[in-house]
Chains A and B, each alone.
Chain A
Amino acid sequence: MNLSNGKAQKNNNHLIEVRSISFKYNNNARRALSNVSFFVDQGERIAILGHNGSGKSTLVKILGALLDPDEGFYFIDGQNLKDINPKKLRSTIGMVFQDPENQIVAAMVQDDIAFSPENQGLPSNEIQERVDKALNATGLQHKKNSAVHELSGGEKQRLAIAGALASHAKCLILDEPTAMLDPQGRLDVENALKKIHSNGTAIIQVTHQIENFDDIQRILILSHGEISWQGDFNGFIKNSERLGFELPDAYKIGSLDINYIARNFKGASNQINAGEKIKSGNEFEIKNLLFKFGENKPALDNINAVIKKSQWISIIGRTGSGKSTLVQHLNALYKIQQGEIFFDNMPLAQHGQDLKSLRQKVGLVFQNPEEQLFSPNVHDELAFAPRNAGFKNKELEDAINYSLDCVGLDKNFLTRNPLALSGGERRLVAIASVLACKPECLILDEPLAGLDASYQKKILELLKSLRDSGRTIIMITHDLKTALNYSDEIMILNNSKLVQIDTPENVLKKLTEILNPDVLPDILKISAQIHELNRDFPLTYDYKKFMSCISQV
């Protein structure tokens, strides 16, 4: 590392520099961070990559001066943090966290952006200037008079970024800023960050997933509280496998001459895939379902769909497209206003004993289900649903053990406090608590959101084995790549209407039509570009199939 040569050459100072930082939480034997050193220069953009539990969040808090390290030094502009007054500190670094809801303090957009310059005690005309600038940088001008609760998730996160920028930060520090957003929201935030970086603001982005990091200059990898690797983007691509990170497909493929491929691709070898109709019976049949909240426009507009037994159906669509409202009809959390739903060829139960047994047969796992845990130990949590369903004694204990077994947790979890588990373990317990009733259909709303790769994989494997054992899986997800690769059928909702429900192969065309190309999975995006030039080239999301098509050229 290039250490600055004393006070004389001020310009040689790094914007941010930490030296040998260590930190340990009181009740923990292991250090959360140990001997971490790095620097960031003016206008630089770096990414700090790490899996869950690598110490990322602790590092973010230390960089934000929200936590004091046990050991080590922190310099801003060559000045020791201890000697910097809080006002200067807060006007040098701006923080953005994962959940925008916890960062926005005012009910109106402009009032919120103004919060930090107001804290700095600036005159009102200057505050307004900064608010306008921040609105501009984040592309929120058209929302400047909106109330916060009217914004989408992506807009809220951009508002949080605007709020951090308004402090005139020279460096933005972001902790998983896109983890809770849908693909379009993610793209909008990414574009805003690119613009902010090109305006000369340094950016430190902490994340567990590699995205389109075109303008990232350096990558640091944090594992077990230590920096285990650092280098530029190309170096990272070469070493990613060894470093334990999966590359986005676009980088695996490398650069392709799309025009050349389109010109020389001959024949559609293995394109026929239809005809393979599913034979199992109907789990749900939805007919002309219409639902309104109050007198607003319909949240579900004339939905007609059949969901087959023992299939894995993924429901995709933008936030507000009606996905959650639809699945909450399936276990009668919403009563049918208009239309019909058949479950197992019988009209869906709406009250009484039938409703009780419906809720046992159709299990619903909400978004962030770990937030709904309330019992003092895992055993009681898992007993909640089966006990409500009337399970007793041995039957109850069997159900508990069965569910724990399903999610792959061992018996000594039963006595543990759910609050003391890791995020991923809590998610598993929450899913188990629904599985305990042995539902024949399991509905999950964004089951992978916010989890790191290893837990995502665990949950996907779990769902796969449940499907293989005859259960119907209905999953709402923003993750198109996962939906395409794992499900038997995809249901696309858009603006409260059903666009299509069909096999992954058969929905590809629709997907490329209705979605912004930049939110498509890499392989699909590239194959769509080639398909556009040469209709013989198949649309595909499958890496192997794509590579075999390419190799024919």
Chain B
Amino acid sequence: MYFSSINLGQYYPADSIIHKLDPRAKLFVMLMLVSAVFPSKSTASLFIWVLIFYVLAKLSRVPLRIIFKAARPIIFLVAFTFVFNIISVLWLGNILNALINAVFTSSRLLILMMFAVMLPLTTTPLELADGIESLLRPFEKFGFPANECALMVAMSLRFIPLLMNETDKIIKAQVSRGAVLDQGNLLSRIKAFFPVLIPLFIIIFRRADDIAISMEARGYIGGKGRTRRKPIIWKYFDTLAIFITALIVSLMLLYF
């Protein structure tokens, strides 16, 4: 019924070459890996992907336990795929085939997700935002506010958990005043939510106001002229990482 504190900042600090990679490079690497896992067809290829994932995890110095924990919400999706696959294939063929197919599809999805999870684990929200900003910078010529967008992304990562807490508190308070939020038809449910939505909006607006003031007090006057504590700088190493990944990916696609 209530929101639990959902953890958006999954970042796991460690001193590893993966952590040090340029966020843009990491984005490309992940995209390549993820899209290469998709078409893999054989058991052998899946096995090699697991091996590659293991090497990557070791290089990142993020304990496997942490990675699995971060990937936990995805397990549900994998299980769903598994069941859905069995059902859909059963329609057509025999049980054994259905089972094999389901195992195959869901483990592919699992590996794919494990790669994807490595990105937020090894990259702080701000780095990620900075990476996205610099990828969007070419569009600034057309008036696209890349810097403001990046700040917006970074700030929402900071404030979404906070607003979840606020929402949780308001829901509880109204429920304890006897509000019934989960009964009746759609219209009465929507109406029942006003006592939650109104205070939430008031809180959001008031917070936004206060945050704007304190940002001004800290000298924020827009993206122009801002520097970075950790500017993202493309290094040889990043190019190398992309090159290696490209090599692995093409080998995998060609031979497995």
B and A form one assembly: yes
The interface stretch among A95-103, A408-416, A519-527 is A95-103
- What's the least CB distance linking A182 to chain B, in Å? 17
Contact A116 B175 (CB under 8 A): no
Contact A149 B9 (CB under 8 A): yes
Which B residues are CB-close (under 8 A) to A90? 217-219
Which A residues are CB-close (under 8 A) to B195? 372, 374, 384
- What's the least CB distance linking B218 to chain A, in Å? 4
The interface stretch among A21-29, A107-115, A231-239 is A107-115
- What's the least CB distance linking A295 to chain B, in Å? 10
Contact A106 B158 (CB under 8 A): yes
Q: Which of B145-198 contact A (CB under 8 A)?
A: 151, 154-155, 157-158, 161-162, 166, 169-170, 172-180, 194-195, 198
Which B residues are CB-close (under 8 A) to A124? 227-231
A122 close to chain B: CB less than 8 A: yes
A86 close to chain B: CB less than 8 A: yes
The interface stretch among A41-49, A185-193, A257-265, A363-371 is A363-371
The interface stretch among B59-67, B98-106, B205-213 is B205-213
Which B residues are CB-close (under 8 A) to A385? 177-178
Contact A107 B229 (CB under 8 A): no
Which A residues are CB-close (under 8 A) to B203? 371
How far apart are the CA atoms of A371 and B225 in the complex, in Å? 38
Contact B4 A293 (CB under 8 A): yes
Contact B214 A97 (CB under 8 A): yes
How far apart are the CA atoms of A330 and B169 in the complex, in Å? 16
Which B residues are CB-close (under 8 A) to A421? none
Among A104, A119, A123, A127, residue most surrounded by chain B Cβ atoms (within 10 Å): A119
Contact A388 B178 (CB under 8 A): yes
Among B162, B178, B198, B220, residue most surrounded by chain A Cβ atoms (within 10 Å): B178
B124 close to chain A: CB less than 8 A: yes
Which A residues are CB-close (under 8 A) to B220? 115, 119
Q: How many B residues have CB within 8 A of the partner chain?
A: 54
Q: Which of B169, B202, B215 contacts A419 (CB 8 A)?
A: B202
A154 close to chain B: CB less than 8 A: no
How far apart are the CA atoms of A124 and B202 in the complex, in Å? 38
Contact B218 A116 (CB under 8 A): yes
How far apart are the CA atoms of A552 and B9 in the complex, in Å? 60
Which A residues are CB-close (under 8 A) to B227? 117-118, 121-124, 127
How far apart are the CA atoms of A99 and B208 in the complex, in Å? 13
Contact B218 A374 (CB under 8 A): no
Contact A373 B199 (CB under 8 A): yes
Contact A107 B199 (CB under 8 A): no
Q: Which residue of B lies closest to A330 (CB)?
A: B176
Contact B219 A372 (CB under 8 A): no
Which B residues are CB-close (under 8 A) to A107? 8-9, 124-126, 154, 157-158
Contact A99 B215 (CB under 8 A): no
How far apart are the CA atoms of A147 and B250 in the complex, in Å? 38
Q: Which of A61, A95, A121, A359 contacts B176 (CB 8 A)?
A: A359
Contact A102 B211 (CB under 8 A): yes
Which B residues are CB-close (under 8 A) to A119? 218-221, 225-226
A120 close to chain B: CB less than 8 A: yes
Q: Which of A107-149 contact B (CB under 8 A)?
A: 107-108, 110-111, 114-124, 127-128, 131, 145, 147-149
Contact A66 B217 (CB under 8 A): yes
Which A residues are CB-close (under 8 A) to B126? 106-108, 111
A64 close to chain B: CB less than 8 A: yes
Interface digits, A312-342 against B, CB 8 Å rule (1 contact, 0 not)?
A: 0000000000000000100101000000000
Given contacts A64-B217, A107-B9, A328-B172, contact A118 B229 (CB under 8 A): yes
- What's the least CB distance linking A169 to chain B, in Å? 10
How far apart are the CA atoms of A275 and B73 in the complex, in Å? 55
Q: Which of A104, A110, A121, A367 contacts B226 (CB 8 A)?
A: A121
A437 close to chain B: CB less than 8 A: yes
A87 close to chain B: CB less than 8 A: yes
Contact A364 B178 (CB under 8 A): no
How far apart are the CA atoms of A66 and B221 in the complex, in Å? 13
B140 close to chain A: CB less than 8 A: no
How far apart are the CA atoms of A374 and B200 in the complex, in Å? 9
- What's the least CB distance linking B62 to chain A, in Å? 14
B13 close to chain A: CB less than 8 A: yes
Q: Which of A95, A371, A433 contacts B217 (CB 8 A)?
A: A95
Contact A95 B214 (CB under 8 A): yes
Which A residues are CB-close (under 8 A) to B198? 374
Contact A145 B174 (CB under 8 A): no
Contact A364 B202 (CB under 8 A): no
Contact A388 B210 (CB under 8 A): no
Contact A437 B13 (CB under 8 A): no
Contact B229 A374 (CB under 8 A): no
Contact A128 B229 (CB under 8 A): yes
Q: Which of B8, B124, B173 contacts A366 (CB 8 A)?
A: B173
Which A residues are CB-close (under 8 A) to B53? none
A69 close to chain B: CB less than 8 A: no
Q: Which of A118, A149, A293, A360 contacts B228 (CB 8 A)?
A: A118
Which B residues are CB-close (under 8 A) to A545? none
Selected A-B contacts with CB under 8 Å, 8 pairs: A64-B217, A90-B217, A101-B162, A115-B220, A124-B227, A148-B9, A328-B172, A433-B177
Contacts from B to A (Cβ < 8 Å): 4-5, 7-9, 11, 13, 124-126, 151, 154-155, 157-158, 161-162, 166, 169-170, 172-180, 194-195, 198-199, 202-203, 207, 210-211, 213-221, 225-231
